[in-house]
């Protein structure tokens, strides 16, 4: 016969015979309920469920009577408060969902930031100054090879790019080279002509050729109205094409010397070597003088004052 039972919401429901234990949905509240048994067995005899106690109601799950204050059916474990049987519970809402956990890689970011900082510091404090000096050295190479116009172009390109310390030397060459080009125009080099100055006098002693260096004694007289500071970069040896710069040497006793107006100071400068191509001094083109001496020029060039003297070897 049909099974009649009451939903927790109070709606009386009817289910076909033989559907005991199955789940059905209440037509009133849409709650899923378990269809109870129509008969309960007691000592092997089939009996109908006892009526609910006065003032009480039947268990919505198994139909057994419940006391008005009962929250849990002791027969089937139905919990009136939750509408579920004990032992069955809904899975948490978050269960079954894929959790996405985002972790900020603090250590990796800190290491990467440290590496970037080291690279930036290395560039500004090591690589950039070293690269600037290499570029200046490359431009000076044109001077040494006697390609002065190309040297001027190279220094002009470098001027806005190098550091303050390197720019000072670049500026010095850009002052010196125009004078060097101007004073040695035409056949001045071939003819062994000297260039004298009314502001700075330079008297030379006999050069001393040592292993890997040439030492020249000289006297510098200041005829200007202002103190004159002498620097190594103002001196160089010149042949017909190539130029030899002053070497970094402890014997350069004129480096940094201040010559007051009217004073004369003596000292030594050391060059790295003798130029390759000598000056052909003599009447006949390409001939040496009667003594057979080989000549080179020694220059003083501070960008404003230019002196060129013959230096025999």
Residue 251 or 181, more confident: 181
Whether 183 has a pLDDT exceeding 50, the answer reads: yes
pLDDT of residue 108: 76
Vertex 169: Cα angle to 165 and 175 (nearest 5): 140
Average the pLDDT over 87-102 and give the result: 56
Whether 204 has a pLDDT exceeding 70, the answer reads: yes
Average pLDDT for the chain: 80
Range from 124-133, 186-195, 283-292 that averages highest in pLDDT: 186-195
pLDDT of residue 146: 85
**With bands split at pLDDT 50, 70 and 90, how would you rate the model's confidence at 13?**
confident
Vertex 306: Cα angle to 186 and 194 (nearest 5): 50
pLDDT of residue 235: 95
Residue 121 or 114, more confident: 114
Average the pLDDT over 292-309 and give the result: 90
Whether 132 has a pLDDT exceeding 70, the answer reads: no
pLDDT tens for 147-179 read 999 999 999 999 998 888 888 889 999 999 999
Backbone dihedral region of 43: left (phi > 0), alpha (psi from -120 to 50 degrees) or beta? left
């Amino acid at each position: 016969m049909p099974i009649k039972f009451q939903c927790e919401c109070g709606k009386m429901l009817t289910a076909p015979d033989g559907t005991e234990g199955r789940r059905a949905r209440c037509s009133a509240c849409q709650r899923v309920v378990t269809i109870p048994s129509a008969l309960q067995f007691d000592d092997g005899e089939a009996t109908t469920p006892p009526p609910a106690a006065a003032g009480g109601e039947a268990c919505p799950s198994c139909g057994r009577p419940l006391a008005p204050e009962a929250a849990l059916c002791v027969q089937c474990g139905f919990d009136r408060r939750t509408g579920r049987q004990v032992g069955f519970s809904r899975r948490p809402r978050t269960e079954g969902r894929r959790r996405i956990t985002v972790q900020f890689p603090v250590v990796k970011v800190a290491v990467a930031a440290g590496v970037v900082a080291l690279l930036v510091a290395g560039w500004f404090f090591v690589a950039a100054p070293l690269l600037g000096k290499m570029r200046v050295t490359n431009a000076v190479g044109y001077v040494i090879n006697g390609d002065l116009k190309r040297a001027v172009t190279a220094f002009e390109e470098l001027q806005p790019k190098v550091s303050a310390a390197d720019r000072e030397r670049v500026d010095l060459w850009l002052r010196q080279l125009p004078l060097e080009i101007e004073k040695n125009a035409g056949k001045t080099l071939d003819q062994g002509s000297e260039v004298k100055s009314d502001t700075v006098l330079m008297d030379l002693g006999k050069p001393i050729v040592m292993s890997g260096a040439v030492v020249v004694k000289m006297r510098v007289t200041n005829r200007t109205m202002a103190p004159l500071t002498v620097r190594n970069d103002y001196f160089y040896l010149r042949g017909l094409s190539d130029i030899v710069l002053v070497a970094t040497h402890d014997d350069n006793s004129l480096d940094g010397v201040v010559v007051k107006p009217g004073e004369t100071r003596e000292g030594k400068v050391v060059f790295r070597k003798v130029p390759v191509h000598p000056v052909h001094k003599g009447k006949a083109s390409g001939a040496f003088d009667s003594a057979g001496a080989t000549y080179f020029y020694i220059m003083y060039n501070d960008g404003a004052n230019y002196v060129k003297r013959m230096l025999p070897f």
